[in-house]
Chain A
Amino acid sequence: MSPTLSAALEGAGKIAFVWGVVLAAMLPNLIWMERRVAGLIQDRPGPNRVGPFGLLQAFADVLKMFMKEDVVPLYADRVLHTLAPFILLVPSLTTFAVIPFGSKVPLFGREIPLVIADVNIGILYVFALASVGVYGLVLAGWASNNKFALMGGIRSSAQVISYELSMGLAAIATLMAAGSLRLVRVVEYQAGGTFLGFLPRWNCLTQPLGCVIFIVAAFAETNRVPFDLPEAEAELVAGYHTEYSGFRFGAFFMAEYLNLVASSMMMATLYFGGWSLPFLPSSGLLGGLLSIAVFFAKTMFFVFLFMWVRWTLPRFRFDQLMDLGWKALLPLSLLNLLWTGALILLKVI
């Protein structure tokens, strides 16, 4: 087999694996999980009738979505109205390309690194895609020709731009520590050393402030409660997707959950050691498979965190959101840069 062909096969295999896990295994269960977690927190059972433990509820939900009529408002911009959900969906599907989901597995006599594309701009790629995804929300709001949808779109563009800054500045500190933009290197750095002699050198321990800023900003970037102002249903009906129904509403829903998974993966990768866990082997076939399990377990924890927060906290007001982003998170993320720089200069990390 020629090297080009085997490389292509390897890439296709990894894409199939990641999309398989995320789209087929995680996505349907996330819908179910969200509703069950909501039930748990609100002291009620949640959906438990369709299939064992209500596990098939997601399929019922999706089927319902497909059967509904797809309505385009009369005075909407038809082209952009159709395009908007997909502009949102494509970046969230492609983010997974640069996130390392495991260490390495020896297969067919070769060491296969468990990341689809180990590019030297890794984290910038993730941020660039996240910032392109906002066009989907903005256009959905604009193309619907509905004032509530428009307000939702305007809010989302202001919100994403504000929080992207602190998120990026917080993430820069992790790159400073690792000395590279490659996410593979960021994880290897965290796996390959100790902090203060006995703790794992995870960025959440060395830069706790940056970790909190990143998580808060990630909530805002994914439009989740307490920052779900673009779709605040108490004020804006349903925000940018007010005029969407049927399958295209489903596409928005899907993109939201994909972004949630991608953000959880980024939290695990940048701050919680990615696929690594102390005292767990990460080489060889078994180690490689274990590292995949560790990575997805960490991802699922952060997915749960998203849901936990959603059903616990109330929504911010818009001026509070802007104050928090510009007056609190941005200066704090600069402080975090200073802190990390000092740690590096003092050779503590």
Chain B
Amino acid sequence: MPALSGDLVVFTIASLLAIGFALAMVVQKAPVRSVLSLVVTFFGLAIFSIQLAAPFVAVLQVFVYAGAILVLFLFVIMLLNLGQEAAEEDRRPLQKWLGLVAALALGGVLSGAALRAPTPKGMRPPAVVPLADEIPTIGRLLFSDYLLAFEALSFLLLVAAVGALLLSKRRFE
């Protein structure tokens, strides 16, 4: 049993929030509420990143996922007005249970792997976020060691964007 520290308290609260709202996202019937639950989950994950002394990752998590991508989700849900559909009767009872079994199996595999992993010794993340600039380091790595992967990924995203544009354009013509 680790000693009760501020870190542990924050970690517990953040993980409870993340897990609780992840569950709420799946169980929730109204799509808008599902999206909002996911936002809270992302905030919980961002807190983990801050505790691991990676505030850059944390803020990107909030900025990109919670701030941009999920706003787009919300935008689409509101535009299509998906509110009514949620009230309909659940017509696929079997899939629900199969999904539960699959989720439990995946959770079992993941937690088994986590429990078997060797515990790192003397590698406690620093409690206080260091003020050194981590961004130049990330930038340097992206443009040296990971240049190929970085460029390939940006090309992939460009292809996806052009594809989406093409598909939506065809509908208008």
Partner of B67, one of A120, A121, A131: A131
Instruction: Give per-residue flags for B77-108: 1 if the beta carbon is below 8 A from chain A beta carbons, else 0.
Output: 01100000000000000000000000000000
Within 8 A of B (CB), among A122-149: 124-125, 127-128, 130-132, 134-135, 138-139, 141-142
10 contacts between A and B (CB under 8 A): A80-B32, A120-B55, A130-B67, A134-B67, A141-B78, A142-B32, A142-B74, A180-B135, A181-B133, A181-B135
- Given the interface contacts A119-B55, A128-B59, A180-B133, does A161 sit within 8 Å of B71 by beta carbon? yes
Contact of A131 among B36, B68, B74 (CB under 8 A): B68
A119 to B129, CA, bound (A): 9
A76 CB to closest chain B CB, in angstroms?
12
Contact B75 A128 (CB under 8 A): no
The SS class assigned to the A binding surface is helix
A325 at the interface (CB under 8 A from B): no
* Contact call A153/B78, Cβ cutoff below 8 A: yes
User: Interface extent on B, as a size class?
Assistant: 20 to 34
Is there contact, CB below 8 Å, between A125 and B39?
Answer: no
Counting chain A CB atoms within 10 Å of each CB, the highest count among B58, B63, B66, B134 belongs to B63
Task: Give residues in B with beta carbon < 8 Å to A.
Answer: 32-33, 36, 39, 55-56, 58-60, 62-63, 66-68, 71-72, 74-75, 78-79, 129, 131-136
B130 CB to closest chain A CB (Å) equals: 8
Given contacts A120-B131, A132-B67, A180-B133, contact A161 B62 (CB under 8 A): no
Closest to A119 in B: B55
Docked Cα-Cα span, A229 to B1, in Å, equals 55
9 cross-chain pairs, A with B, having the tightest CB-CB distances, nearest first? A131-B67, A128-B63, A128-B62, A157-B75, A124-B59, A121-B59, A121-B55, A128-B59, A157-B71
Known: A128-B62, A142-B78. A135 touches B71 (CB 8 A): yes
Whether B67 lies near A138 (C-beta < 8 A) is no
Report B-chain residues with C-beta under 8 Å of the C-beta of A160.
71
Whole-angstrom CA separation of A180 from B135 in the bound complex: 8
A243 to B74, CA, bound (A): 20
Assess A127 versus B135: contact at CB under 8 Å? Given A153-B78, A157-B74, A158-B75: no
Chain A interface residue bracket vs B: 20 to 34
Q: Which residue of B lies closest to A160 (CB)?
A: B71
B79 to chain A: closest residue by CB: A154
Residues of B with C-beta under 8 A to A142: 32, 74, 78
Beta-carbon contact of A124 and B63 below 8 Å: yes
Do the beta carbons of A120 and B134 come within 8 Å of each other? yes
- Report if A164 contacts B (CB, 8 A): yes
Chain B residues, Cβ within 8 Å of A139: 32, 36
User: For chain A residues 156-208, which have a beta carbon within 8 Å of chain B?
Assistant: 157-158, 160-161, 164, 179-182
